[in-house]
Amino acid sequence: MSKPKVLIIYTGGTIGMIRDEKTGTLKPFRLERVVKSIPSILNLGIEIHAMELDEIIDSSNVTPEVWVELATIIGEYYEKFDGFVVLHGSDTMAHSASALSFLLENLSKPVIFTGSQLPIGLPRTDARENLITALEIAAMRNTNGESRIPEVCIYFEDNLYRGNRTHKFNSENFDAFLSPNYHVLAEAGVKIEVFDNHVLPNPKDELVVHTQLNSRIAIVKLFPGIDIHDYAEMFVEKGVELVILESYGSGNGPTSKRFLSSIRTLVENNVLIMNVTQCREGHVEMGKYESSTELSAMGVISGSDMTTEATVAKAMFVLGLTSDLNERRQMMRIPLRGEMTV
């Protein structure tokens, strides 16, 4: 086979930060310096090309427009490269990886998000290993020439995760991400071990790049004593089209008349409600307890074991794809990119 070609897309984030001598704060610098900091990547046997967004940003400033820009870039260069590595800040990486998984339909090549907890220029940085291994994974192909991992992933500290199954759980350790409800796709040790039975199948249809996202969504996290009556009225007035309800345990919420009346107000005004658990591990099982039976009866949709990050991205994608309420409801109930277990 010919030498694999991988495109690095630099968005910003800690991996490409440098300390400002005047203020002491970290600020992004250019991709050229990131690559020059790791001369050994030229010995990987990979033809590497690199580009950066017009505006290098901290991941806290990522917007749906950035997701669309990334998807468009990948679509534009899709036929020219065997894989893609997106350098991205870790704080919203799970959101971005989730969004790209939905925007890139029929993806048959790896899109690997990675970054670091320390800037690439520091002696103890995790950036070098993360970038080198992400490049190797993006270049992996089977003997028939097909990409080994045809999906959007996050690589961090020895583990490759499905992007829409992942969340950042630690802001201080190099091991910053977890995928509690789905097996890792690969582990990097002396060798990179790929768990093929957990990887999505390689699609046969052509790539479809979606560019429409609808962010008219809201998140309500339940807490003891919460009164969502005013929220419900505000959501209806402001035109919110989907509410993500972060419930307790396996999908439970209060059984008070006021709470249930507020949920009913939303449902009667054609606002979809997704029920996801506040627990980082486990899934929503509506009807298991009395406290979730009423929600189920009113048409609240179970988010199963989706992360909040994946639910946000999926909601924006589905709302942007169709305005039909029944189609939206059906799509939110089923896995589209391996983001949930049914």
The chain-wide mean pLDDT, for the chain, equals 91
- Mean per-residue pLDDT, 320-340: 98
Burial of residue 44, with CB atoms counted within 10 A of its CB: 0-12 exposed, 13-18 middle, 19 or more buried: middle
Calculate the CA 77 to chain-centre distance.
21
Is the model's pLDDT at 32 over the cut of 70?
no
The confidence score (pLDDT) of residue 126 equals 83
By percentage, how much of the chain surpasses pLDDT 70? 93
The confidence score (pLDDT) of residue 170 equals 86
Cα(first)–Cα(last) distance of the chain, in Å? 39
Domain covering 5-209 assigned CATH 3.40.50.1170 in the classification: yes
Distance between CA 196 and CA 25 in Å, rounded? 42
Q: Is 18 left (phi over 0), alpha (psi -120 to 50) or beta?
A: beta
Identify the top-confidence range among 113-117, 175-179, 212-216, 225-229.
212-216
The confidence score (pLDDT) of residue 29 equals 57
What is the tens place of the pLDDT at every residue in 164-205?
999 999 887 788 899 999 999 999 999 999 999 999 999 999
Is the model's pLDDT at 87 over the cut of 80?
yes
Backbone phi, psi, residue 28, to 5° = -75, 145
Could you tell me where in the chain the CATH 3.40.50.1170 domains are found?
A: 5-209
Give pTM, 2 decimals.
0.93
Is the model's pLDDT at 150 over the cut of 60?
yes
Closest by CA position to 7, among listed 36, 35, 27: 35
Is the model's pLDDT at 134 over the cut of 90?
yes
The confidence score (pLDDT) of residue 322 equals 98
Residues tagged active-site: 14
Could you tell me where in the chain the CATH 3.40.50.40 domains are found?
A: 217-333
Distance between CA 220 and CA 227 in Å, rounded? 11
Residue 120 pLDDT level (bands cut at 50, 70, 90) = confident
Is the Cβ–Cβ distance between 102 and 210 less than 8 Å?
A: yes
Distance between CA 115 and CA 36 in Å, rounded? 16
CATH number of 217-333: 3.40.50.40
**Biggest CA-to-CA distance, the chain:** 66
What is the tens place of the pLDDT at every residue in 240-292?
999 999 999 999 999 999 999 999 999 999 999 999 999 999 999 887 777 78
Question: How does DSSP assign 172-226, residue by residue?
Answer: SSS--EE-TTS--SEEESSSEEE-GGGSPPPP-SPPEE-------EEEEE--TT-
The confidence score (pLDDT) of residue 33 equals 62
